Amino acid sequence: MDIKFNSDVEAVDSLVGTYKDLRKEIGKVIIGQDDIVKDVLISIFGQGHCLLVGVPGLAKTLLVNTIAQTLGLTYNRIQFTPDLMPSDIIGTEILDETRKFRFIKGPLFANIILADEINRTPPKTQSALLEAMQERTVTAAGTRYDLGKPFFVLATQNPIEQEGTYPLPEAQLDRFMFNVWLDYPKFEEEIQVVKNTTSNYKPELKVIIHGEEIVYFQDLVRRIPIADNVLNYAVTLAQKSRPNTALATEMVNTYLSWGAGPRASQYLVIGAKVNAIFNGKYSPDIEDVQAVAAGILRHRIVLNYKAEAERVSVESIVKSLI
């Protein structure tokens, strides 16, 4: 597919229209959850991954499935269980009829991966995703395989049922651009959800955008200019979260063990750029950084014992930083 625009301004206008079409199409299936849908789309166009955290029944899996259908990408769902092995998701070598080893690709080889209940599998299997999420490659038997573009991991996690789960290591959490918390729907939204799901309502979803266009728009986001004061604000916001450093606030020094690393600064800038485009702007401002900050920071700061004893939440600290 040959994608040509006369200018980046024209390309930005096209992405704004595409975003509106995506929201309209996804809205046929997903009722409400507007901020959640926006954050997932920001992570996709920002070349990031997204962790969806919410209790059962909030349509986390349905959301990912719906987005995959509207993007026209290959999609695999991996149900993470305690007995899942790395080879079950990466692939394995087999001895074929010619007595030569041949690599059989696993379900990780797709554009969109739904890692369902990612914290239910042991660290050995979780770590198999680390290279894929950062490098977009996997290594098996000494050979490196490219996962292709675009590639996203959209993972789900249940925050209340902790028996038989394995907390995600900080290194893996840091690879997720967003940690998105899903809440219960409003009364009117739940009425509409129940009405749709207890009838013969089966919406036909159209493909709004294809892989080549997504890759083009991902590159476009990188070319969007950003003012120095907005860039400085994003980096300052990340640095303020690091205890015992020059910019750390009193609340951070009191209640945090660790703060957000440089990857947070990068994602704050990328996220602000995509958020600005979605709002029809050609360059992000401080409000765009603030709009994406909570989802980018909340899984990158670690509370200390004092915070847990005094029941200080991650969310309250993030709000104080913003």
What pLDDT is stored for residue 106 in this prediction? 86
What pLDDT is stored for residue 163 in this prediction? 63
* CA atoms within 13 Å, Cβ hemisphere of 232: 4
Higher pLDDT, 60 or 253: 253
Query: Domains of the chain (ranges plus CATH)?
Result: 8-211 (3.40.50.300), 225-321 (1.10.8.80)
- How confident is the model over 178-199, as a mean pLDDT? 86
- Evaluate if residue 68 carries a pLDDT over 80: yes
Distance CA(316)–CA(322), nearest Å, equals 10
* Cα dihedral 64, 184, 274, 256 sign: negative
What pLDDT is stored for residue 164 in this prediction? 62
- How confident is the model over 2-17, as a mean pLDDT? 82
182: Cβ–Cβ under 8 A, 6 or more apart, which residues?
Answer: 33, 36, 52, 53, 54, 55, 58, 60
- Evaluate if residue 202 carries a pLDDT over 60: yes
- How confident is the model over 181-187, as a mean pLDDT? 85
Q: pLDDT grade, residue 289 (50/70/90)?
A: very high
What pLDDT is stored for residue 33 in this prediction? 81
Location of structure tokens 């290594």: 139
**Is 317 in contact with 297 (CB distance < 8 Å)?**
no
At 185-194, the pLDDT tens digits run 888 888 988 8
- Evaluate if residue 282 carries a pLDDT over 60: yes
What pLDDT is stored for residue 265 in this prediction? 94
What pLDDT is stored for residue 161 in this prediction? 63
Instruction: Work out the percent of the chain whose per-residue pLDDT is above 90.
Output: 28
What is the average pLDDT value for the chain, to the nearest integer? 87
- Evaluate if residue 14 carries a pLDDT over 60: yes
At 18-31, the pLDDT tens digits run 999 999 998 888 88
- How confident is the model over 207-227, as a mean pLDDT? 91
At 117-141, the pLDDT tens digits run 888 888 888 878 888 888 888 887 7
Q: pLDDT grade, residue 95 (50/70/90)?
A: confident
